[in-house]
Amino acid sequence: MASGFENPIETLEDGLRRSVWVVCGLALMCGVYGLAGCGGGAPQPTPTPIMTNVFPSNATAGSQGFTMFITGADFISDSRGVTFAYWNGSARSTVLNAQTGELEVQILASDLAISGIATITVANPSPGGSCADPGGTCGNNGFQVVMPQAGNPSISSFSPPSAQVGGMEFTLTINGSNFAAGDVVVWNSEQHPAVFVSQNKMTVDIVSTELVTAGLVGVAVSLPNLITSSTTVDYPIVGPSSSTPSVGSITPSTIAAGNTDFQMVVKGSNFAANAFVEWNNVPLATAFINGSQIVALVPAADVASKGMANVTVTNPTTAATPGGGTSGMSSFTISQ
């Protein structure tokens, strides 16, 4: 005869089964759809990055921009954020090479306008790090920008004037002045043995593995180890025209005024390898993840007071990357 009361053991078992299904369902949705709030708890701490070497370690004032390579340990590019490099405390666009583990840092021509010693540092996002500097900034390698001296080698032109991405090995002729026997060619910060033809001509073999990525390669002529160097001149590795990028989302899209530096994830489409994020039309240091995701470092000064900011992404037009353009604007809110 029915008593009107449920068996307490069966009720408990049913409840447990329902709880398990709810937890499993939430876990599935979190994994598949990336729902906000999934995972809970505090953000994963990041390790303290360690910088062991910077190459090159010096350049001649007046050089065009080039790629600097930083070796070390505990560089990251994952859900916790990315490692950025800094030039005298200002962040520079940085990419972690998954194959070599090196940071590839874009040094600007404006960084090399005058002679002096620049401090190079690296940082992982908070929380984490155990450096004395706030935010886990580690390393302190002095980079020398030296004034050009009378008699230094000088580059005037290249033959061929450019190469195609994915091309075959070829011999590059470098025209200029003050070349000497024993000089080397520095290609993308790596020294190559070269053939001295005359004081006005050098040749160097460029292999196909150095032509896999479109972009501007910094080239210089110097004595070994950059003791006496020409200014760095850009050589184009020409790729296909890039499209205008499109921004789908930015995370976060709002933050409280007075916040510290933070990393903003931008998702969309058609991001080129040299794409950069702009904040109210001012370029930010940007880390390229893939064609649909990049990460920008927003400095504290940009969110010091309440207001709105316009966020865009630009694929720059260069001799190596024709096409390009700027995305539509996304709004970022700085709350009180």
Distance CA 122, CA 83 (A): 7
Report pLDDT for 237. Answer: 97
* Least confident span in 68-82, 108-122, 215-229: 215-229
Tell me how many degrees the CA angle 319-325-326 measures, rounded to the nearest 5: 140
Reported as type and span, the H/E element at residue 259 is: none
Residue 227 region by backbone torsions, left for phi larger than 0, else alpha for psi between -120 and 50, else beta: alpha
Report pLDDT for 154. Answer: 96
Report pLDDT for 28. Answer: 35
pTM metric for this prediction: 0.81
**pLDDT tens-digit readout, 176-211:** 999 999 999 999 989 999 999 999 999 999 999 999
Using the predicted structure, report yes or no on whether residue 293 has a pLDDT greater than 80: yes
Q: What is the CA radius of gyration of the chain?
A: 25
Mean pLDDT of 294-308: 97
CA 296 remoteness from chain centre: 9
Report pLDDT for 142. Answer: 80
Residue 129, both tokens: 């790090």
- Residue 168: pLDDT band (50, 70, 90) is very high
Q: How many CB atoms sit inside 10 A of residue 2's CB?
A: 4
Mean pLDDT of 2-24: 40
Report pLDDT for 131. Answer: 59
Report pLDDT for 43. Answer: 64
Of 166, 174, 83, the residue nearest 121 (C-alpha): 83
- Residue 136: pLDDT band (50, 70, 90) is low
Report pLDDT for 31. Answer: 35
Mean pLDDT of 135-139: 60
Tell me how many degrees the CA angle 136-141-145 measures, rounded to the nearest 5: 130
Distance CA 220, CA 210 (A): 16
User: Contact 277/313 with Cβ under 8 angstroms?
Assistant: yes
Using the predicted structure, report yes or no on whether residue 138 has a pLDDT greater than 80: no
Residue 179, both tokens: 């070349």
Q: Which amino acid makes up residue 221? A: V
Q: Which domains does the chain have, with CATH numbers?
A: 50-146 (2.60.40.10), 154-238 (2.60.40.10), 246-335 (2.60.40.10)
Q: Please classify residue 194 by burial: count the beta carbons closer than 10 Å to its beta carbon, then call 0-12 exposed, 13-18 middle and 19+ buried.
A: buried
- Cα distances (Å, whole numbers) of residue 311 to 19, 279, 281: 42, 5, 8
Report pLDDT for 224. Answer: 83
What is the average pLDDT value for the chain, to the nearest integer? 85
Distance CA 91, CA 51 (A): 16
Contacts of 45 (CB under 8 A, 6+ apart): 127, 128
Residue 174, both tokens: 């470098």
Percent of the residues in the chain that have a pLDDT greater than 90, as a whole number: 70
Distance CA 185, CA 226 (A): 10
Distance CA 50, CA 72 (A): 5
Using the predicted structure, report yes or no on whether residue 8 has a pLDDT greater than 90: no
**pLDDT tens-digit readout, 21-62:** 333 333 333 333 233 334 445 567 888 888 888 988 889 999
Using the predicted structure, report yes or no on whether residue 225 has a pLDDT greater than 80: no
